[in-house]
Structure 1
Amino acid sequence: MSPDAMVTHFVGASALILVAAHAGGYVARRLKQPYIVGQLTAGIALGPSLLGSLAPGVHKALFPREIGPALTGFAQFSLVVFLLAVGYELDLKVLGDRARSAVGVALAAFVVPMAAGSGCALLFGDQLHDLGMPRHLSVGMVVFAGVALSITAVPVLTAIVRENELSRTVPGVVAVSAAGLLDAIGWTVLAGTLLDGGGDQSVAWPLRAMLALGFVALMLVAVRPLLRRLLWSTRMEPTLRLALLIGFALGSAWVTQALGLHVIFGALLAGVVLPREERGTLDPDLVRPLHDVSSLLLPFFFVVSGQSVAVAGLDATSWLTLLVVTVLAVTTKIGSSTAAARLGGLDRNDARTVGVLMSTRGLTELIALNAGFQAGLLSKPLYTVLVFMALATTLLTQPLLILVRRLAEKDRGAPSDEPTDDAGTPAAPVDVG
């Protein structure tokens, strides 16, 4: 294909991706589902699972192999910008006086699904072999199976909390705080997994781990003060500052990719070390454009991820695995989070709400699965199964919240005149610290 033809194909494919993904997001929001669910569904539909099956000639014409690297580049760029914003917004100070409850929920919501996922990988090796996995799973593969079940998607959870008017309620604050802490734990474990199972295997993983820890220390100790002095003290023009920070995140992502982790860790780390304003507040002139750029370009990530999802290749074993994995993912997450919330002092209905919210996976799960697939920790059929598990658990969140609300009304026996939130609990504001 000539360069001019490749540019023409790329421009046409980009137009289709942006329109289809954002149209899917709009439809999802109208159905009271997260915007991201519609985008992910559209990305899968544009891949071999739907478009490639119904009209293979059209799919090949719209997405020729030659434009794959360009689409992947856009996808990685959108991820870096998105995760830069996620890292910048991550603030565990929001725990406040609910720290004990949030920490307990985070630990339970990580440990129980992690143990269940890793245990199943060890117990059902024959079934996983039927899905294209090796007969003898590596340590990284076993650990990654646990990580895949333990993830909670903070951005999607935050959107659901906001849309259900739970932001200033006890279950909303505990869930968001616990999810932020769980994210920190999950990304750390995932980083170790990828160091062991991915990247340049010519360099021993202990050496790569030491280099990675050294890079993290350098970013926290030296780079953060430098950024504060260069970018905030000088009051740099917002557009220039945004460009420099995105360039900084891309450079950090390049380093972690070279160390055998993934671009996602460098981008997250860049956001974490990014200093806030003097009172610890977020800079709206930075957050707003980061969200605008990432939300515009994330559809490229969904489409690139969707190209590896092959529904036609799923057999009876795959569908049974999907059912089992989804049930396991929902029950372990909701059960462990609810029990921990109850032990942390929340009443039964608030604890149920926290449990349901913690089961949301969405985009964060997809990012982790994509990293594991690229590192060779997942076969294509198992990757497809886990992508659909992420979609199913996210779709179930809103119906389960409605169920929790109805159970709360049943517990009370009759509707109360007291204002309640959408989970059916008293909507009294709480101190979020």
Structure 2
Amino acid sequence: MSTDSVITHVVAALAVVIAASHALGGLARKLGQPAVIGQLFAGIALGPSLLGMLPGQVHETLFPKEIQPILTALAQVALVFFLFAVGYELDLRLLRHQSAVTAVSVSGFAIPMLMGAGIVLLFPGGFASVNEGRPTDATFVLYMAVALSITAVPVLASIIKDRGLANSRPGTIAMASAGVIDALSWPVLAVVLVGGAHASARTWAVKAALLVLYVLLMLFAVRPLLVRWMRRPGATATHQVPLAVTLALASAWATNALGLHVIFGALLAGVILPRLPDGAPDPRLLRPLLDVGGLLLPMFFAISGMAVVLGGLHASDLLILAVICVAAVVSKVAAGTLSARGARQPWRDSLLIGVLLNTRGLTELIVLNVGLQAGIIGPRLYALLVVMALLTTAATGPLIRLLRRPADALPDLPADAPPAGVRAGKEPAPVPSAGAETAPSP
């Protein structure tokens, strides 16, 4: 295929993906679901599970193999900008504002981790079969633990806003806890990738040491230089935005070169980027990153959906899907509910917190794509985990309606408590509609 032909196919593929993602994302929102549900279905529909079944090789014509690396690269760039913004907005100081957040965060992280590891140890043969013979070793067990522990902060923020929970105590506790849970999950996923499926103890130790050195370099060398540069007299956003983009891409490249994934470098770059004096992210930096990432994120959903081959599943896989779904729902809902109740929250509010933590969506898809690319999971298990992410996310809205009748009035937070959002002291800013959702940024 010539260069001109590749460019033509890439441009056409982008038009199809963005149009389909926008259309199905809007339909999902009309049905009371987060846009990510429709956008992922768009990817599945454009993949071999639906479009590939049509006569005339429509899928191969629209998405030939020659352009797959380019589409994948665009999806990875979108993730870099998106997760850079996530790291920039991440603020663990929320732990100081709500006594229940610590209990809910620890339980909402640890109990699903244990359940994820437990189901693999209880059904090793079933997981070995659905994972097409890949070893159910410590790497796989830890990966499954992380896959069940994730709560999707961006999707959860959208649901909280749409359901009118932004100023309620359950919404604030759930949102702050979700941010902490994901902050705890990323390092564990990094450990999984550092070790690899077949890495020796020496290889693991070398990679871990290099990663620690890189983190220290970013914290104690790069960050002070950024502070001096960005707070110098006469500094403007015109110069700071290219600097932030360069930092995000360079850090993503560095962690990828260390044998991890680009997402870890992007997150770390966002975390070390200096904030405003009041501790809030600078909107002049955040907005361009969200705009660019939002335009490209449909490519990530398309690539994620195209990797789901429903026709390749076996009837016996449904049992493993049921096990995964039950473990995912029970662990999250029970952990959130019981820990919130232990922190003296009312029963209905506690159950609402547990239901909110069961939201997965975009963040889960990122973890699943990382596992698929690293070879930890295969196409069949990947498809099952994507279905689990869709089901648990889609169930959140209806469950909220059951728990919160229109006549109910949830107690508002005191005036000095932070609103539901990842950063303290600020109302969540809307993210671009082309991205994972059209509500608060991650």
TM-score by length of 1: 0.92
Deviates more, 1:308-317 or 1:284-293: 284-293
Change (3 A) 1:55 1:197: farther
| Sequence identity (%) | 48
**Which residue of 2 is the match for residue 273 of structure 1?**
272
- Large movers: runs of 4+ above 6 Å: 199-203
User: What is the CA distance between 1:243 and its match in structure 2?
Assistant: 2.1
Q: Cα distance, 1:205 vs. partner?
A: 1.0
Displacement of 1:293: 1.3
AA aligned to 1:426 is P
Structure 1 residue 235, shift from structure 2 partner: 4.6
Matched, 1:26 2:26: yes
Taking the TM superposition and a 5 Å limit, the aligned residue runs for 1:99-138 are 100-134=99-133, 136-138=135-137
- Quick check: 317-326 or 61-70, which moved more? 317-326
> Which position in structure 2 is the counterpart of 1:191?
190
Equivalence map 1:354-393=2 (5 Å): 354-393=353-392
The answer on whether the counterparts of 2:148 and 2:328 sit within 8 Å (CA) in structure 1 is: yes
- Tell me the equivalent position of 1:88: 88
Q: Is the 8 A contact 1:95 1:174 kept in 2?
A: no
Q: Encode CA deviations 1:180-235: one digit per residue, 9 max, x unaligned.
A: 11111100111101111169889701110011011111111121121111123245
Distance 1:20 1:240 in 2: 35
Inter-partner Cα distance in structure 1 for 2:265 and 2:188: 15
Check the 8 A contact 1:126/1:135 in 2, yes or no.
no
Letter in 2 for 1:4: D
Match of 2:293 in 1: 294
Question: Where do residues 384-403 of structure 1 align in structure 2 (5 Å cutoff)?
Answer: 384-403=383-402
Q: Specify the alignment match of 2:235 in structure 1.
A: 236
1:389-424 superposed Cα distances (whole Å, 9 cap, x missing partner): 111111111111111114xx8xxxxx47xxx2xxxx
- How large is the Cα RMSD of the aligned pairs? 1.9
Q: Is the 8 A contact 2:134 2:376 kept in 1?
A: no
- Deviation sequence 1:247-282 (CA, Å, 0-9, x none): 211110111111111101000000011110111122
**Distance of 1:217 and 1:87 partners within structure 2:** 16
Asked whether the 8 Å contact 2:169–2:411 carries over to 1, the reply is no
Query: Given the superposition, is the C-alpha separation of residues 200 and 51 from structure 1 closer, same or farther in structure 2, using an over 3 Å criterion?
Result: farther
Q: Report deviation, 1:52.
A: 1.0
Residue 84 of structure 2 contacts residue 266 of structure 2 at CA under 8 Å; is this kept in 1?
yes
2:434 equivalent in structure 1: none
The CA distance in 1 between the partners of 2:45 and 2:200, in whole Å, is: 35
Provide Cα deviations, 1:84-114, integer angstroms capped at 9, x if missing partner.
Answer: 100001011123331x311111111111111
- Work out which of the residue numbers 401, 411, 417 in structure 2 matches 1:426: 411
Partner of 1:39: 39
1:256-335 pair list within 5 angstroms: 256-335=255-334
Aligned to 1:217: 216
Matches of 1:6 and 1:198, distance apart in 2:
35
**2: distance between equivalents of 1:194 and 1:56?**
40
Residue type matched to 1:22 in 2?
H
- Runs of 5+ consecutive residues of structure 2 not aligned to the other structure: 419-423, 425-442
Note if contact 2:152-2:361 (Cα within 8 Å) is conserved in structure 1: yes
CA contact (8 A) 2:146 2:189 kept: yes
Partner SS state of residue 316, structure 2: helix
Q: Distance in 2 between matches of 1:235 and 1:33?
A: 45
Structure 1 residues not aligned, in runs of 5+:
410-414
Q: CA contact under 8 A between 2:119 and 2:323: conserved in structure 1?
A: no
Counterparts of residues 101-180 of structure 1 (less than 5 Å): 101-134=100-133, 136-180=135-179
- Residue 294 of structure 1 and its aligned partner are, at CA, apart by 1.2
Matched to 2:235, the amino acid is M
Q: 1:172 to 1:57 in 2, by over 3 A?
A: same
Q: Which has the higher helix share?
A: 1
| Distance in 2 of aligned mates of 1:57 and 1:136 | 35
Within 1, Cα distance between the matches of 2:293 and 2:397?
Answer: 24
Question: What displacement does 1:163 show?
Answer: 1.7
Report if the CA contact (8 A) 2:13-2:63 is conserved. yes
User: Is the deviation greater in 12-21 or in 199-208?
Assistant: 199-208
Q: Within 5 A, what are the aligned runs for 1:64-83?
A: 64-83=64-83
Deviation of 1:364 after TM superposition, in Å, equals 0.4
Q: Which amino acid aligns with 2:72?
A: T
Q: Which amino acid aligns with 1:9?
A: H
Q: Give how far 1:129 is off.
A: 2.3
Out of 73-82 and 46-55, give the one that drifted further. Answer: 46-55
CA distance in 2, matches of 1:235, 1:37: 44
Q: 1: CA distance between counterparts of 2:152 and 2:21?
A: 19
TM-score when normalising by structure 2: 0.91
Q: Residues 56 and 114 of structure 1: is their aligned pair in 2 closer, same or farther, counting only changes over 3 Å?
A: farther
Aligned partner letter, 1:427: D
Q: Report the alpha carbon displacement of residue 236 of structure 1 after superposing the two structures with TM.
A: 3.5
- SS of the equivalent of 2:4 reads helix
